[in-house]
Amino acid sequence: MTMINGRRHKLIMEKIVKNNEEQTEMLKKITNTFGIDTELCKLSEEIGELLGECYKALYTEQTLEIQHKIEDEFADVMVLMSQIGIYFDLDSNQINNIFDYKVKRTVDRIDEGWYEKHR
C-alpha cells in the first residue's frame, strides 16, 4: 500500500466546508426540487460509486483515468453532503471540531499502539 499524498487535500477540505451564497442557493434549489428523501438515497448511491472506484484503484494499476473517476465520484458525494449540511443546518465549526478530534484521537491511538492491541 502506498503512502497518502496530501498535496491537494487542503483545497478539497476548504471546498467541503465553504460554499458561497450563490452555491448555497443552488444547493437549496436542488434539494427543494428533488426532496431530501431522494437526495439521501442518492447519497447512498454516490457513496457506493465512490467506494467502487476506490476499490478499483486498490486492485488495479493506478492511472489518471481512475484518479479522475475517483475525483468525479468524490465531487458527487461532496455536493450531496453539502445539501445535507444546509438542509439540516449543520454547524460547520462543530463539524470541524469533531473532525479534528477524531483525527487526533486516531493518531494518538496509533502512537499508543491501541490498534495493535485491538486487532
* Per-residue confidence in pLDDT tens, the chain, 119 aa: 444 555 555 555 555 555 688 999 999 999 999 999 999 999 999 999 999 999 999 999 888 999 999 999 999 999 999 999 999 999 988 999 999 999 999 999 999 999 999 88
Q: Which residues contact 17 (CB under 8 A, 6 or more apart)?
A: 92, 95, 96
